[in-house]
């Protein structure tokens, strides 16, 4: 396998998602068919919500491949979706489907319905052909026969469970398992069960209902039902849960369906015509449930409507095995790459020929790859290596990783360590771009989670969550680097890097990848630092094979010499003594490199000895360099370790050891961490000395619950195995990590060996050419020959061509700059060089530096593959050799002016995916079907006050400082900052405050005005303020009217504009930079909510190679294409003579723009401490406390009562000093009190 794959003795069953649903197509142009890969798919919430979010968009086909390691998840999902597909033909209501899917206890009717559906599915699922020809087969498909067989077996158990529902044993067994689930929950969450991560489900209005939501979650966990049922109603354990869970597979807490939905609708006041509106007269607890069930019903109905153009393909497999098999399938159309299906078991993964052969229709590259939170457990680098190459060749193709950052409101250091090296360096080597890092802009809010993360004083001290810190959900989008540029054509070649530089970079990555082996790091810092180091490295995410997979991916993407890189790495790693066990892993590293076709050490084959009589495998006619060793561990040896792991809730990260022992002393010692584990009994085929000797395992499905031997298999080098056969010992050990030493060292001793025996022990050791279930080596990534020569990256299709090479800091292994080289080939250029005209540089965009000869006599654009910065660059001009080079450093997303207006870039694309039509594609803003989003009622200021806090935190802590400096500056007459992005955010902030009426006089009319450039350049008409709960935010549903010279020449338009002068209109004063920024952002704001299709007359198409996004930045010229003009709902706004301009406006979706938590801090130290104290004070029992310092009333110097803020009359402080210190935070929420209420 690609990772060490810790064997989880306790593996929680995540039947129900605990994060709110998001749209899987949020990055894609509307109307373009979508192929989607879900890795770690979990339940169906994202699929159902995607169907709902597609409503109103131009129709497209959806093809979703859902991969999960747990077959019970797949079985549940298919049964539930089949009930929805039955629709009006069945008498099953959405409420009954809810019960069957989410409740752990069912009544008689629901049990009967479940049993009938399971029997129906059983009859249809005997073979793949039968299923695919059934009524469900067009929509719900299987990627392979084994997945079908697994779910068929589970559905059989469902029917058996329904038949046994009245037996005492059935209920007693389930109750016993639930007690184990409760014990596991108490260890992880603590006894108080306060789930503050639920705030993300209620965002952006989480604060008022977190407590009620936690109570509802606890009640659901306790009763197994979403609502109270009569005490005399007979309830039975739901087979959808009871069949899955066991002592080793407890139900994962919280298992509350409410957390999968967008619960802000339960607390927000919505307009009467709003989608997803619920009754106002129900209690808060019932409102939470009603909000979720209304959404569930609407999502299910939407899925019914799109089912005819939707295909969902299911597979039970390890995500890395599946991805590498798909990579091989892309290249060869073969259905196996010789990977195991999962981390446990010897079943090879083989896809169905009907789906994945040349005649199959299943996709193997994707527009969207969603990886859930796999990054947390298996490392984002492994995901990028495995899944990154499966992205389609399209600018919108996006891979989403999700990290649960522990207790951090933002963490740029987390980003830097994300990929075991300088993240921008590593991602560039892989050809991927972390788009939101470079833009430092996102429409996805983490405000609610950040604030709740500060409430650590409320976490139960009995919970392990307390030790780890609360988790903030941080998403990061990765796109193909070649499409990253917002204005330049994509490149088709790769970056050139010298082998020595590649080796320098990768050596540093290697050291970070295996830092858990670095004893000196463990010994550094305080005791707290050492504990954190031990916790962070309890379950290593990489082995040497993982590193080689990364190395192969890099060599396939950049122009270098793979064999030379491999040789240099082996040499440097071999000489490095940083890692305590580095030399013990060297054999595994060399073997993995050779199997991957990168570099082969000569000793791997040279030292193989034929006709050696000391072991049977030495008598084979052909001994390959890599052979498999399979070890059988008696239950008596692994059972005690299992019991200890159960007690401590610990996983077992195992590895294989080979060592020569003479006179009790270890002579040599090799470690192999890439192992495969199963339980069962071994049989063999052919004699041991036969080349075709094969090891077979009859697996015990009881696994940890059974009493069968544990079987472990791994590859080793034949040469190493022959060094000293009589003295060689084979051991299966736990990895030496801090956690393992604490938990298991006393039991297992310093070697951490679960079992050790002699290589010649034929009862427990079997040597064959391949492990059980395999007939060839697993294929990592591309199987084609890698390039052997250094090439160069050539940008653009016209002369002169630019060649790019990376410049590497030899001490850190970071790419610090990129050298762009242009040969001057034109006669004009040669002449100007010869005449020694001055040459200067001009930054044309974040990616492009123009080389300007003389007085614009010749301009040569040099477009880099990443954002760069002209300032700090160096220029080489070779007038005789006739070339120019620019050594440009990476741009900084915070400080580089070249990225100041790089917020929501849009590019033009024309490919087979768009049917040859030129379309704008946004790169980093989620698309929204506005008419499906709830509409906020703005007449209740108390319930809308959350907007102030949300909008305030669009400004990072750095930007808030700049904002205050601008306000306080005596030289600021316009009120504008020198920073265009800050001014843009200020304008958007103002729009939300005035559109909601929370600050100033309420209005939905805004003008973008540049006093020095002709006055008003555009009008914005806000129709509604909507909840965007999938992105934890809000959005202005608006229309934009960019004024053109042609438009204002129209008499009727002039009259309308004259009428507007008498309306309440907010003037947003801008300067040149902010005006340009608005124009650059608006295409994305229009495209993200587009319900119309671009026509053949679209200006983006008809202008051909001259087309840009936006169409023009010049005053009075057309900004957006005309396709969207007039495509607004009827009665969009209530303005006199609206019909005059209705056909000229374009609908846009304006969201608050947040900084990326991977780049900047949202909450600075002082503000964070104040918020933490405020939240903590609310959790304390007893009397009032100072809002800033937390001092109890009466405890301040001089005693007496706390002093109220004279404006809101709610905030209380112990002193003027505390009030002043808290003002930066408090002013965002401070509302003038209604004195009449106080009297």
**What's residue 1174's pLDDT?**
54
Lowest mean pLDDT among 259-268, 405-414, 1021-1030, 1120-1129: 405-414
406: pLDDT strictly greater than 80: no
Q: What interhelical angle do 71-86 and 94-102 show, nearest 10? A: 170
**pLDDT (average), residues 373-396:** 93
**Rounded to whole angstroms, how far apart are CA atoms 1112 and 1030?**
33
pLDDT value at 713 more than 70: yes
If one counts every other C-beta atom within 10 angstroms of the C-beta of residue 801, the result is 16
DSSP H/E element including 472: strand 471-480
Phi, psi of 173 (to 5 degrees): -60, -40
Mean of pLDDT values over 933-957: 89
Q: What percent of the chain is modeled with pLDDT above 90?
A: 70
User: Does 749 have pLDDT greater than 60?
Assistant: yes
Contacts of residue 894, Cβ cutoff 8 Å, sequence gap at least 6: 440, 958, 1159, 1160
Per-residue confidence (pLDDT) for residue 459, from 0 to 100: 45
Average pLDDT estimate for 210-233: 88
Report pLDDT for 458: 44
Cβ–Cβ < 8 Å for 927, 23: yes
B/e letters for 54-65, b = 16+ CB within 10 Å, e = fewer, are bbebeebebbbb
Give, for 862, the enclosing helix (H) or strand (E).
Answer: strand 858-863
Q: What is the pLDDT of residue 466?
A: 44
pLDDT reported for residue 454: 67
Does pLDDT of 795 surpass 50? Answer: no
Instruction: Return the closest-CA partner of residue 1042 out of 1012, 1021, 1063, 1071.
Output: 1021
Range name among 29-43, 272-286, 705-719, 1138-1152 with the lowest pLDDT average: 272-286
Instruction: Note the pLDDT of residue 178.
Output: 96
> Could you give the CA distance from residue 763 to residue 765 in angstroms, rounded to a whole number?
6
State the pLDDT at residue 973. Answer: 66
CB contact at 8 A, 1183 and 1192: yes
Question: pLDDT tens for residues 1164-1209?
Answer: 655 555 555 554 454 444 467 777 666 777 777 667 788 888 877 7
Q: What is the predicted pLDDT for the residue at 1220?
A: 75
- Give the pLDDT score at 789: 41
Q: Provide the pLDDT for residue 1182.
A: 46
Helix (H, G, I), strand (E, B) or coil at 422: coil
Asked which of 241-255, 276-290, 537-551, 710-724 is least confident by mean pLDDT, the reply is 276-290
Share of the chain above pLDDT 70, in %: 91
Q: Give me the pLDDT at residue 5, please.
A: 74
Is the peptide bond between 204 and the residue preceding it cis, with omega within 30 degrees of 0? yes
pLDDT band of 281, cuts 50, 70, 90: low
DSSP states along 779-802: PPS--SPPP-S---EEE-SSSSPE
Q: What is the pLDDT of residue 1161?
A: 84
Nearest to 305 by CA among 474, 84, 503: 84
Lowest mean pLDDT among 260-269, 345-354, 414-423, 824-833: 414-423
pLDDT value for 1228: 58
Q: Judge whether residue 791 has pLDDT over 50.
A: no
What integer pLDDT is reported at residue 1171 of this predicted model? 56
Average pLDDT of the residues in 569-595: 93
Q: Which fold has domain 793-899?
A: Immunoglobulin-like (2.60.40)
pLDDT value at position 788?
45
Q: Is the pLDDT of residue 638 over 50?
A: yes
Which helix or strand (DSSP H or E) is residue 909 part of? strand 906-909
What integer best gives the mean pLDDT of the chain?
89
Give the pLDDT of residue 664: 75
CB 279 within 8 A of CB 31: no
pLDDT (0 to 100) of residue 1224: 60
Q: Is the pLDDT of residue 402 over 80?
A: yes
- Judge contact between 284 and 266, C-beta under 8 A: yes
Closest CA to 997 of 1029, 1022, 967: 1022
pLDDT band per the 50, 70, 90 thresholds, residue 207: confident
The Cα-based distances of 281 to 269, 591, 1112 in angstroms read 12, 69, 52
Predicted confidence band at 1237 (pLDDT cuts at 50, 70, 90)? very low
Sequence-separated (6 or more) residues with CB below 8 Å from residue 893? 437, 438, 439, 440, 867, 899, 1156, 1159
* pLDDT computed for residue 1179 by the predictor: 41
Contact status, residue 258 vs residue 133, Cβ threshold 8 Å: no
Sign of CA dihedral 161, 163, 165, 169: negative
Q: What is the pLDDT of residues 343-372, one digit of tens each?
A: 999 999 999 999 999 999 999 999 999 999
Average pLDDT over every residue of 820-849: 92
Q: How many helices (H) and strands (E) does the chain have?
A: 43, 36
Give the separation between CA 1059 and CA 1136, rounded to whole angstroms: 8
Contacts of 262 (CB under 8 A, 6+ apart): 20, 21, 201, 291, 295, 1027, 1029, 1030
pLDDT at 52 over 90: yes
Burial 865-881 (b: 16+ CB within 10 A, else e): bbbbbbeebeeebebee
């Amino acid at each position: 396998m690609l990772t060490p794959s810790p064997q989880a003795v306790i593996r929680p069953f995540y039947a129900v998602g605990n994060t709110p649903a998001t749209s899987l197509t949020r990055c894609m142009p509307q109307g373009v068919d979508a192929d989607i890969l879900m890795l770690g798919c979990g339940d169906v919430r994202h699929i159902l919500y995607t169907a709902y979010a597609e409503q109103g968009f131009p129709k497209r086909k959806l093809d979703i491949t859902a991969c999960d390691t747990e077959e019970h998840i797949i079985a549940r999902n298919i049964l539930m979706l089949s009930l929805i597909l039955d629709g009006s033909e069945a008498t099953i209501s959405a409420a009954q489907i809810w019960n069957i899917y989410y409740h752990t206890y069912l009544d008689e009717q629901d049990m009967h319905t479940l049993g009938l559906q399971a029997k129906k599915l059983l009859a249809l699922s005997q073979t793949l052909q039968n299923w695919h020809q059934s009524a469900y087969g067009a929509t719900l498909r299987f990627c392979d026969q084994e997945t079908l067989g697994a779910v068929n077996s589970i559905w059989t158990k469902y029917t058996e469970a329904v038949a046994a529902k009245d037996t005492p044993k059935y209920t007693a067994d389930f109750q016993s398992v639930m007690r184990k689930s409760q014990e596991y929950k108490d260890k992880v969450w603590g006894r108080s069960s306060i789930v503050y991560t639920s705030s993300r489900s209620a965002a952006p209005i989480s604060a008022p209902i977190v407590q009620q939501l936690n109570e509802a979650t606890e009640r659901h966990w306790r009763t197994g039902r979403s609502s109270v049922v009569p005490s005399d109603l007979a309830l039975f354990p739901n087979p959808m849960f009871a069949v899955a869970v066991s002592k080793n597979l407890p139900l994962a807490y919280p298992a509350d369906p409410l957390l999968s939905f967008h619960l802000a609708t339960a607390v927000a006041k919505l307009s009467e015509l709003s989608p997803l509106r619920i009754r106002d007269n129900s209690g808060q607890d019932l409102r939470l449930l009603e909000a979720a069930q209304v959404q569930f019903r609407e999502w299910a109905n939407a899925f019914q409507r799109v089912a005819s153009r939707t295909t969902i393909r299911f597979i039970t497999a390890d995500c890395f095995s599946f991805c590498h098999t798909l990579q091989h399938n892309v290249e060869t159309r073969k259905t196996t790459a010789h990977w195991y299906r999962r981390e446990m078991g010897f079943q090879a993964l083989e896809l169905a020929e009907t789906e994945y052969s040349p005649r199959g229709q299943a996709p193997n590259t994707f527009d969207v790859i969603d990886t859930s939170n796999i990054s947390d457990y298996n490392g984002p680098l492994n995901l990028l290596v495995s899944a990154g190459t499966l992205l389609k060749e399209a600018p919108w193709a996006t891979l989403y990783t999700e990290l649960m950052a522990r207790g951090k409101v933002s963490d740029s250091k987390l980003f830097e360590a994300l990929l075991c090296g300088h993240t921008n360096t590593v991602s560039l080597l892989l050809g991927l771009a972390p788009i939101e890092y470079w833009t430092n802009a996102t429409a996805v809010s983490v405000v609610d989670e950040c604030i709740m993360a500060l409430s650590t004083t409320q976490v139960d001290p009995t919970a392990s969550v307390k030790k780890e810190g609360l988790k903030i959900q941080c998403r990061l989008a990765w796109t193909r680097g070649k499409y990253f540029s917002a204005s330049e054509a994509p490149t088709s070649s790769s970056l050139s890097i010298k082998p020595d530089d590649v080796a320098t970079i990768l050596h540093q990555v290697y050291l970070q990848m295996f830092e858990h082996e670095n004893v000196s790091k463990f010994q550094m810092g305080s005791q707290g630092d050492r504990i954190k180091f031990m916790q962070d490295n309890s379950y290593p995410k990489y082995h040497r094979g993982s590193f080689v997979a990364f190395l192969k991916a890099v060599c396939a993407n950049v122009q270098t010499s793979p064999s030379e890189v491999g040789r240099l790495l082996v040499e440097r790693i071999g000489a490095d003594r940083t890692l305590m066990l580095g030399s013990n892993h060297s054999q595994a590293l060399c073997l993995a490199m050779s199997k991957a076709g990168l570099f082969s050490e000569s000793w791997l084959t040279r030292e193989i000895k034929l006709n050696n009589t000391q072991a049977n495998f030495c008598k084979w006619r052909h001994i390959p360099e890599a052979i498999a060793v399979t070890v059988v561990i008696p239950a008596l040896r692994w059972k005690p370790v299992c019991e200890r792991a159960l007690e401590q809730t610990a996983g077992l990260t195992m590895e294989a050891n080979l060592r020569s022992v003479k006179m009790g002393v270890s002579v040599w010692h090799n470690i192999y961490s890439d192992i495969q584990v199963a339980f069962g009994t071994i049989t063999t085929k052919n004699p041991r000395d036969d080349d075709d000797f094969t090891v077979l395992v009859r697996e015990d499905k009881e696994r940890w619950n059974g009493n069968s031997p544990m079987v472990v298999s791994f590859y080793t080098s034949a040469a190493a195995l022959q060094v000293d056969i009589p003295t060689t010992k084979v051991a299966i050990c736990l990895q030496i990590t801090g956690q393992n030493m604490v938990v298991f060292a006393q039991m297992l001793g310093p070697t951490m060996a679960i079992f050790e025996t002699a290589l010649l022990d034929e009862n427990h050791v079997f040597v064959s050419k391949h492990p059980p279930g395999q007939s060839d080596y697993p294929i990592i990534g591309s199987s084609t020959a890698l390039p052997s020569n250094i090439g160069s990256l050539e940008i653009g299709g016209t002369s002169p061509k630019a060649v790019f090479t990376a410049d590497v800091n030899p001490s850190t292994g970071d790419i610090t700059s990129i050298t762009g080289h242009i040969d001057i080939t034109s006669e004009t250029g040669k002449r100007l060089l010869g005449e020694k005209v001055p040459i200067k540089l001009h930054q044309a965009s974040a990616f492009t530096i123009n080389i300007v000869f003389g007085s614009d006599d010749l301009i040569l654009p040099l477009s880099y593959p990443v954002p760069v910065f002209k300032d700090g660059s160096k220029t080489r001009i070779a007038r005789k050799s006739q070339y120019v080079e620019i050594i440009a450093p990476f741009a900084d997303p915070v400080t580089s002016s070249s990225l100041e207006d790089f917020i929501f870039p849009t590019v033009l694309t024309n490919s087979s995916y768009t049917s040859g039509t030129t379309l704008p594609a946004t790169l980093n803003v989620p698309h929204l079907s506005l008419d499906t989003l709830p509409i906020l009622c703005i007449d209740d200021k108390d319930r809308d006050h959350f907007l102030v806090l949300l909008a305030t935190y669009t400004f990072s802590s750095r930007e808030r400082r700049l904002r205050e400096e601008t306000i306080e500056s005596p030289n600021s007459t316009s009120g504008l900052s020198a920073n265009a992005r800050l001014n843009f955010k200020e304008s958007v902030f103002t729009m939300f405050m005035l559109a909601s009426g929370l600050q100033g006089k309420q209005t939905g009319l805004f003008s973008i005005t540049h006093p020095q450039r002709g006055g008003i350049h555009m009008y914005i008409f806000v129709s509604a303020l909507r909840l965007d709960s999938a992105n934890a935010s809000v959005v202005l549903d608006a229309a934009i009217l960019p004024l053109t010279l042609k438009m204002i020449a129209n008499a009727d338009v002039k009259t309308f504009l004259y009428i507007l002068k008498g309306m309440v209109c907010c003037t947003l004063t801008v300067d040149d930079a902010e005006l340009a920024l608005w124009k650059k952002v608006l295409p994305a704001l229009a495209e993200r909510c587009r319900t119309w299709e671009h026509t053949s007359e679209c200006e983006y198409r008809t202008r051909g190679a001259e087309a840009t996004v936006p169409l023009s930045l010049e005053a009075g010229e057309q900004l957006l294409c005309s396709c969207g003009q007039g495509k607004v709902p009827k009665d969009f706004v209530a303005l006199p003579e609206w019909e005059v301009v209705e056909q000229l406006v374009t609908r846009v979706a304006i969201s608050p723009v947040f900084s990326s938590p991977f780049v900047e801090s949202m909450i600075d130290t002082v503000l964070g401490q104040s918020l933490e104290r405020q939240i903590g004070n609310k959790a304390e029992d007893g009397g009032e406390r100072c809002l800033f310092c937390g001092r109890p009333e009466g405890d301040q110097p001089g005693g007496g009562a706390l002093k109220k803020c004279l404006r809101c009359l709610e905030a209380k402080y112990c002193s003027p000093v505390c009030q002043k210190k808290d003002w930066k935070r408090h002013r965002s929420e401070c509302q003038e009190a209604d004195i009449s209420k106080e009297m």
